[in-house]
Amino acid sequence: MAAAICGALAQGGRWTPALDLFAQPATIYVALGAASALISTPVKGARRRGLVLGLLAALSGLALMANTPPVPAARPGAGDRPYLKVIQFNAWRGNAELPSAINWLASQKPDLVFIEEATPQLRDGLRARTGWHVAGRLSTVMIFSPHPLRAVNVRPTAHAAVEPTWVNAVVQDPRGEFEAIATHFTWPLYDLGAQQGPLLRRVIEQLPADTLVLGGDFNTTPWSFVRRRDDAALPVSRRDPVLMTWPVLLGGVAPSIAVLPIDHVYAGPNWDTVSVARGPRLGSDHLPVVVVLQRRAAPDAAESAPKPR
């Protein structure tokens, strides 16, 4: 019954962020509703109510998830254009397996790594292992890259609770520099006014968006109304489909199944998506997201010239 009621309340997220809290765990409503319906069959007496409520809960969750905005389809890469491998990872401040996480990150040979809940131990270990450049080295959100980083701007966590933590840097890729932003949103429970999205959007609107790459732990699912409104207003598009990334650990001890997609990667219109995948468990309560992008080819001068009338 509780799952069915929460699923119904979630529809109120269209009008108020407070009710949008109920939209986040839609996958849980589906699982609980299906389980309730299953144990209520065959339908006899009081079991009928369990079946009906279970079906209502599952359908309410499915209705939310069905409205997830689509992402640009992945397409095979063209060999004549440069690739960009991006890893998004909330490393978790309580991570006791940092050596394994550092080794895996280094082995992937990425061009860009966004890390949230970063610690000095992870920063120093990763730099010692790879020699990568780092932006936001004193923040809990960091950007790593084998390419030089410049013009770093940081919004630390020392400000109001509803301000997202973010780091912005220009990646000096020899094939063409571009802007990168890593961010970490607080839980929506602490941002009932849904202010984090507009605050980050003001930062993004001051940057060239065509080749911008954004990644982070947004603590919101793509079917939530807050996330959908924020995504619609951004000049960059989300590239990860529904990838369940959290929670991988329950209480920091027992393994569990990730059921919520809250880690996302966005890119400007000059990037095509080649592939999207989840990484392995690395001692965090989040799974990494690995996105391979490719720059779009510059339009041919002859094709882009205006045609005579």
Q: Quote the crossing angle between the two packed helices 2-10 and 26-39, to the nearest 10°.
A: 150
| Residue (of 204, 170, 171) closest to 82 by Cα position | 171
Span 146-190, pLDDT tens digits: 999 998 888 765 455 678 999 999 999 988 999 999 999 999 998
- How high is the pLDDT of residue 262? 98
- How high is the pLDDT of residue 41? 63
**pLDDT band at residue 302 under the 50/70/90 scheme:** very low
Lowest-pLDDT range of 43-57, 78-92, 198-212: 43-57
Q: Which of the two residues, 53 and 237, has the higher pLDDT score?
A: 237
Give the helix/strand (H/E) hosting 200: helix 196-204
Q: What is the mean pLDDT of residues 199-204?
A: 94
Kindly report the pTM of this predicted structure: 0.89
The C-alpha atoms of residue 80 and residue 31 are separated, in whole angstroms, by: 45
Domain chopping of the chain, boundaries? 2-66, 83-295
**φ, ψ dihedrals at 165, nearest 5°:** -80, 135
- How high is the pLDDT of residue 36? 66
- Coil vs helix vs strand at 150: strand
Q: Kind of pairing, strands 112-116 and 83-90?
A: parallel
- How high is the pLDDT of residue 301? 40
Pick the CATH number of 83-295 from 3.40.50.150, 3.90.198.10, 2.120.10.90, 3.60.10.10: 3.60.10.10
Q: What is the mean pLDDT of residues 15-22?
A: 90
Q: Quote the crossing angle between the two packed helices 47-66 and 26-39, to the nearest 10°.
A: 150
- How high is the pLDDT of residue 79? 77
- How high is the pLDDT of residue 58? 65
Q: Which of the two residues, 280 and 56, has the higher pLDDT score?
A: 280
- How high is the pLDDT of residue 303? 44
β strands within the chain, DSSP E: 83-90, 112-116, 133-135, 142-145, 149-155, 165-171, 178-184, 213-217, 237-238, 249-250, 254-255, 263-267, 271-278, 289-295
Q: What is the mean pLDDT of residues 48-72?
A: 76
Share of the chain above pLDDT 90, in %: 61
Q: Quote the crossing angle between the two packed helices 225-233 and 196-204, to the nearest 10°.
A: 20
Lowest-pLDDT range of 43-57, 93-107, 209-223: 43-57
- How high is the pLDDT of residue 249? 75
**pLDDT band at residue 125 under the 50/70/90 scheme:** very high
- How high is the pLDDT of residue 304? 42
- How high is the pLDDT of residue 10? 80
The C-alpha atoms of residue 288 and residue 88 are separated, in whole angstroms, by: 6
Q: Which of the two residues, 18 and 268, has the higher pLDDT score?
A: 268
Span 219-269, pLDDT tens digits: 999 999 999 999 999 999 999 999 999 998 765 555 568 999 999 999 999
Q: What is the mean pLDDT of residues 30-45?
A: 66
Q: What is the mean pLDDT of the chain?
A: 87
User: Within 10 A of 207 (CB to CB), how many other CB atoms are there?
Assistant: 20
- How high is the pLDDT of residue 163? 83
